[in-house]
């Protein structure tokens, strides 16, 4: 069985290769979230790649839709569709568009995402419906920290607490960066932990690259009763490629085919990081 380090390394490799082939797309947070996605799809989520519409599956809602490369790479790596299809990222007629779209027929997509600030409300609706139907599956929602500047997110945060949706787990990619620079300069978010707590959520701050810590955090979320849980996952934008780590200029920039070899070499050197 592959370790989470190996799973995350493979996902990052597929991300870089697909982005270089596309010539456009979002590299930074896609690389940064690879560990979270490796843990979710290879340990936490109840899902079946051979039966993507399995009625009892947990749902993962990607609210931060522009990091579609990490979702696509993870789904392909997990067996939802052939890895070779990743080479069609952002191509005309491809099922792998720049933002996930359910109407393109790609298995494993729960939400058509693009406009930021929408996903948590959709995830909340899914979680509330499951409670009404006495279903025991869980809904997970991935958000960006810059996305929290959208007011609609906080409406959903307030409603989720009010309705005691303890089958809902949000994950915030807390890399501290967005397209215009550091989040604290663009629009102050801290103390982010206190803000979520004040809205009635169970809050877990976790290293988004520590697989054991992530596992423990997700297990704690599953045990929580009466409150939704949010994981504030501290990540590094561009994780695995040292030359672009923590560089917000790589938020929405893809490596060229000429840069790809160097990036993959850097990735290989960081394969078993601490």
Q: What is the mean predicted confidence (pLDDT) over 230-257?
A: 97
Q: Considering the chain, what percentage of its residues have pLDDT values greater than 90?
A: 95
Q: What is the mean predicted confidence (pLDDT) over 204-232?
A: 98
Phi-psi label, residue 117: left if phi above 0, alpha if psi -120 to 50, beta otherwise: left
Each domain of the chain, given as residue ranges in start order, spans: 4-269
* Predicted structure pTM score: 0.97
pLDDT digits (tens, 9 = 90+) for 45-70: 999 999 999 999 999 999 999 999 99
Give whole-number Cα distances, 40 to 145, 226, 240, in Å. Answer: 19, 22, 19
Q: What is the pLDDT of residue 270?
A: 84
273: confidence class by pLDDT, cuts 50, 70, 90? low
**Closest Cα to residue 172, out of 244, 123, 132, 128?**
123
Question: For residues 231-250, b (16+ Cβ closer than 10 Å) or e, as one string?
Answer: bbbbbbbbbbbeebbbebeb
pLDDT digits (tens, 9 = 90+) for 181-212: 999 999 999 999 999 999 999 999 999 999 99
Q: What is the mean predicted confidence (pLDDT) over 146-159?
A: 97
Tokens, residue 167: 């089958």
274: confidence class by pLDDT, cuts 50, 70, 90? very low
Q: Which CATH number fits domain 4-269: 3.40.50.300, 1.20.1730.10, 1.20.1300.10, 3.40.50.970?
A: 3.40.50.970
Name the strand (E) or helix (H) holding 267. Answer: helix 257-269
Tokens, residue 264: 């993959």
166: confidence class by pLDDT, cuts 50, 70, 90? very high
pLDDT, averaged across the chain: 96
Q: What is the mean predicted confidence (pLDDT) over 224-229?
A: 98
Give 229's contacts (C-beta < 8 A, 6+ positions apart): 166, 168, 169, 170, 201, 202, 203, 204, 220, 221
């Amino acid at each position: 069985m592959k370790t989470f380090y190996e799973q995350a390394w493979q996902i990052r490799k597929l991300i870089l290769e697909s982005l270089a082939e596309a010539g456009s797309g979002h590299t930074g947070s896609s690389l940064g979230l690879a560990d979270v996605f490796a843990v979710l799809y290879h340990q936490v989520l109840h899902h079946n790649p051979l039966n993507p519409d399995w009625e009892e599956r947990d749902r993962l809602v990607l609210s931060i839709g522009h990091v579609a490369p990490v979702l696509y790479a993870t789904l392909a790596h997990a067996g939802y569709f052939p890895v070779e299809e990743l080479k069609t990222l952002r191509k005309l007629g491809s099922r792998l568009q720049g933002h996930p779209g359910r109407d393109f027929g790609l298995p494993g997509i729960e939400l058509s995402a693009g406009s930021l600030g929408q996903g948590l409300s959709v995830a909340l609706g899914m979680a509330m419906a499951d409670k009404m139907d006495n279903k025991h599956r869980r809904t997970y929602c991935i958000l960006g920290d810059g996305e929290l500047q959208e007011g609609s997110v906080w409406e959903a945060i307030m409603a989720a607490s009010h309705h005691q949706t303890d089958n809902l787990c949000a994950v915030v990619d807390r890399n501290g960066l967005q397209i215009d620079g550091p989040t604290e300069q663009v629009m102050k978010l801290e103390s982010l932990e206190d803000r979520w707590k004040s809205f009635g959520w169970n809050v877990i701050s976790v290293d988004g690259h520590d697989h054991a810590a992530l596992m423990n955090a997700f297990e704690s979320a599953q045990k929580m009763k009466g409150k939704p849980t949010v994981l504030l996952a501290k990540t590094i934008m561009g994780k695995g490629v040292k030359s672009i780590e923590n560089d917000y200029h790589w938020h929405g920039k893809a490596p060229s085919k000429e840069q790809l070899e160097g990036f993959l070499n850097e990735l290989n050197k960081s394969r078993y990081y601490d």
